Amino acid sequence: MRPELKNFKPFTMKNLPQYEGFAQGHRACQGCGTVLPLRLALKVLGPNTIAVTSTGCMEIISSPFPYTSWEVPWIHVAFENSATVASGIEAAIKALKRKGKIKSKEKINIVVFAGDGATFDIGLQWLSGALERGHDFVYICLDNEAYMNTGVQRSGATPFGAHTTTSPAGKVIKGQTTWKKNLMGIVVAHNIPYAATANPAFPLDLMNKVKKAALINGPAFIHVFATCPTGWGCKSEDSLLAAKLAVETRVFPLYEVIDGKYIINRKIDKPKPVEEYLKLQRRFRHLTPEQITYIQQRVNEEYEKLIKLAECFGEEKTETKQNQEE
């Protein structure tokens, strides 16, 4: 157990933070499952936080000058480089504290919010550099599985078979032809102290992971499954249902990797068929029964791999109580 997490007190429904770091009136779509985890994360991090956001939906919906949704100091520089901007902020705070130019000794949280394009694709090198150098910051990837801001183009995070405007369901080629990039695997390979997956349909789990990530000294990474009714073609009111089904079908398992040790937060012993998840979304409506069978098989395989990782490199207790929420 890492010393930072020794006396960890998880959030419960009774002690949620009152603080809001993200103001109402932003321009996100109805049912946006990306802005919700962002808001929850800021609630946890509190006012003593500096946020960096990559170009993307969360940047444009929050900062049309002269309006801003950000109650914390916030910077947007470019698409790919938020991890490095955060590196600079962290280094500056370190140097300025050491030289007495920042008087407060309290830890300032540095958090990055970046989409899947900014993380899986264009910003992977910047993320890798920042993780390898060991800066003390939290990187939250809000993965809505395509370039939604520019009109739903495929990314390395787009799931197999999904229709996007650059992986259209054509007559010959039916949607995304590749499996989703294993970003967690890449991140974990950097041997950082904390990496986790989270999902807005499991808000307490998500908030506790943000809290842990902030407590950890060194880089912490959270891969958040972020639903997008607009890009996925699901009803706004089904946004969180889709998110929940992604976990219950094993499409997006919830787990943590602390110092290389895998902890499955929510074991899914009786998974729902992936079809239940897929049929909610228009981006999958063209799928053939064969494609669905393939997806089901691959999802099972990937889940089994994860279970094996947890068995080989896990802690004894694989399920934590805090996640008994619906």
Partner 1 sequence: MAKKIAKEVSVAVAEAVAQCNVDVISAYPITPQTHIVEHLAELVNNGELDAEYIPVESEHAAMSACIGAAATGARTFTSTSSQGLLLMYENLYIAPALRLPIVMALVNRSVSAPISIWNDHSDVMSMRDAGWIHTFAENGQEAVDLIYHAYKVAEKTLLPVAVNIDGFILSHVVEPIEFLDQTLVDKYLPPLKMKYKLDPKKPITIGAIGVPEIYTEAKKAQDEALKASYKTIVQAWKDFEKLTGRKYLPVETYQMEDAEVGLVIMGSLAENAMNAVDILRTKGKKVGLVRIRLWRPFPLKDFIKAIGKVKALCVVDRAVSHAATGGPVGIEVRSALYQSNKRPRVLNLIAGLSGRDVTKEDFVEIFEKTFETLAKKPSTPYEIYGVKE
Chosen residue from 41, 44, 59, 201 binding partner 1 by CB under 8 A: 59
Q: Give the separation between CA 38 and CA 142, rounded to whole angstroms.
A: 8
Q: Is 144 in the site for partner 1 (CB under 8 A)?
A: no
Q: Give the separation between CA 308 and CA 317, rounded to whole angstroms.
A: 14
Smallest distance from partner 1 to CB 93, Å: 6
Residues 156/181, Cβ–Cβ less than 8 Å:
yes
| Interacting span for partner 1 (CB under 8 A) from 29-37, 128-136, 141-149, 213-221 | 128-136
Q: Is 68 in the site for partner 1 (CB under 8 A)?
A: yes
Please tell me whether the peptide bond between 66 and the residue prior to it is cis, using omega within 30 degrees of 0: yes
| Interacting span for partner 1 (CB under 8 A) from 82-90, 153-161, 234-242, 297-305 | 82-90
* DSSP helix/strand/coil, 121: helix
Smallest distance from partner 1 to CB 194, Å: 21
| Interacting span for partner 1 (CB under 8 A) from 90-98, 161-169, 282-290, 295-303 | 90-98
Smallest distance from partner 1 to CB 215, Å: 17
Q: Is 70 in the site for partner 1 (CB under 8 A)?
A: yes
Contacts of residue 103, defined as CB under 8 A and 6 or more positions apart, other chains included, come to none
Q: Which residue has the tokens 């109650």?
A: 71
* DSSP helix/strand/coil, 119: helix
Chosen residue from 98, 105, 270, 321 binding partner 1 by CB under 8 A: 98
> Which tokens belong to 215?
């407590």
Q: Is 76 in the site for partner 1 (CB under 8 A)?
A: yes
Query: Binding string, 25-54, against partner 1, x = CB under 8 A?
Result: ----------------------xxxx-x--
Backbone dihedral region of 25: left (phi > 0), alpha (psi from -120 to 50 degrees) or beta?
left
Smallest distance from partner 1 to CB 30, Å: 21
Q: Is 86 in the site for partner 1 (CB under 8 A)?
A: yes
Q: Is 129 in the site for partner 1 (CB under 8 A)?
A: yes
What is the DSSP track for 136-148? S-EEEEEE-SSBT
User: Residue 90 or 143: which CB sits closer to partner 1?
Assistant: 90
User: Residue 7 or 24: which CB sits closer to partner 1?
Assistant: 24
Chosen residue from 75, 186, 204, 240 binding partner 1 by CB under 8 A: 75
Q: Which residue has the tokens 């939250």?
A: 140
Total residue count of the chain as it appears in this document: 326
> Which tokens belong to 291?
């494609």
Kindly determine how many residues on this chain lie close enough to bind partner 1 according to the rule CB under 8 A: 45
Q: Give the separation between CA 80 and CA 278, rounded to whole angstroms.
A: 30
Q: Is 89 in the site for partner 1 (CB under 8 A)?
A: yes
Contacts of residue 115, defined as CB under 8 A and 6 or more positions apart, other chains included, come to 34, 54, 56, 57, 58, 141, 142, 143, 144, 147, 148, 149
Q: Is 265 in the site for partner 1 (CB under 8 A)?
A: no
Q: Give the separation between CA 3 and CA 14, rounded to whole angstroms.
A: 26
Backbone dihedral region of 223: left (phi > 0), alpha (psi from -120 to 50 degrees) or beta?
beta
Q: Which residue has the tokens 């990039």?
A: 181
User: Residue 127 or 245: which CB sits closer to partner 1?
Assistant: 127
Which secondary structure element, helix H or strand E, spans residue 257, and what is its range?
strand 255-258
Q: Is 136 in the site for partner 1 (CB under 8 A)?
A: no
User: Where do contacts with partner 1 occur on this chain (CB under 8 A)?
Assistant: 47-50, 52, 59-60, 63-66, 68, 70-78, 80-81, 84-89, 91-96, 98-99, 101, 108, 125-126, 128-129, 132-133
